[in-house]
Amino acid sequence: MTAATAGFDIEAFHANAVQTPSDERVDEMRDLLVATLTDAGHPPRVDDDGNVVVSRGAGDAVGDDTTRDDPASPHLVLNTHIDTVAPHIAYERDGDTVGGRGACDAKGPLAALLAAFLRADPDEGTLTLAITPDEETTQLGAAALADRLSADGFIIGEPTDLDVCIAARGQCEAEITVSGAGGHAASVSADDNPVFGLKHVLAGLASYDDVVAPTSHELLGDPELTPTIVTGGDTPNRVPDACRLTVDRRSVPPETSEDFASSLATHLAEQVPDEQTVSVDLIDPETPFPDPFVTDNDAAIVDALQTASGGDVRAFGAATEASHFAPTAPTVVFGPGVLADDEGAVAHADREYVRLADVRAAADAVTAALDTLY
């Protein structure tokens, strides 16, 4: 153990991290991470996308913000995020359990990955810690890293209850616009009225997965298509020209967000009366949506982490930044904490918590897996 590693207190860092709000801005949390790495002898770089990136071993993994280097193999990347959902919830500790916003999503995984990064000995390869600022919102940081990082494997820190997750469904949102003929409520026919058209769209949504979408996946199960928001009209006695319906999509391979929007538009156009039209537009298309991914169960990184952790190999229950990295190298999601327990939601909930024993166990498992892989 190096002097720098010996000086890293995983519980103290986790406590400081959970006490540092990062639900609206991540600057203070990023400063804490940068200072911790610098004090440990590994000063990181903050790139133009706000990512904190640092490498150990036989070379820098990323070069600058615009170039892509070829680091020494094996090159493994540890990734998680410093942002949290709102609102901030104060830190509290009860014995071995820490509560507060980010306790498990994802400052528990962050503490574990940081400890493993400092402990590991990538003597013949390269180990990179790449921490993003916007996983809970735009995921632009991960998309930029995916374009620049050339790696042999990725470990993504999220609350998995120390299970090794090798797959996750994709996620996107789309706005469906039903257009027809607006006018006085006493004179517009049902076939022209886009509000009446919603019943055909809703029926089309209900039949979409049976008629068009991929079949159930052995790890990820069925895709889901859920209407969430309806808007349209501004006056009780006037029919609007259009009304809109927002949907949330949880996809399974091989569907991508672009495939979904295109095929859903075609399917819904067949459902509405000829007098109406339907369009489907991805919300914030400049933001990269996470597509579904599946890593080969036989990949070395899966075996090493499962052996080290003793956890199950399964799918993850939420969309993550892993989707951006998985197309280029075997990718697993792993960390302390749970998305939900027997009492209900944990991550993103007011009762968010993590057990420090699990944070330490995650750090030990990732360290042992890295020792196997290098």
Spell out, as residue ranges, where the chain has pLDDT lower than 70: 1-6, 59-70
Report helix angle 356-373 to 300-309, nearest 10.
Answer: 140
Domains of the chain in sequence order? 3-168+292-373 (3.40.630.10), 170-282 (3.30.70.360)
Which of 245, 240, 252, 167 minimizes the C-alpha distance to 206? Answer: 245
Q: What is the predicted pLDDT for the residue at 255?
A: 92
Q: What is the predicted pLDDT for the residue at 59?
A: 60
Q: What is d(CA 244, CA 124) in angstroms, rounded to the nearest whole number?
A: 56
Report helix angle 107-119 to 27-39, nearest 10.
Answer: 20
Q: What is the predicted pLDDT for the residue at 63?
A: 53
First-to-last alpha carbon distance for the chain, in angstroms, is 17
- Between the CA atoms of 136, 318, 148 and 138, what dihedral angle is there, to the nearest 10 degrees? -30
Q: What is the predicted pLDDT for the residue at 69?
A: 61
Query: Would you say 37 and 130 are in contact if contact means Cβ atoms under 8 Å apart?
Result: no
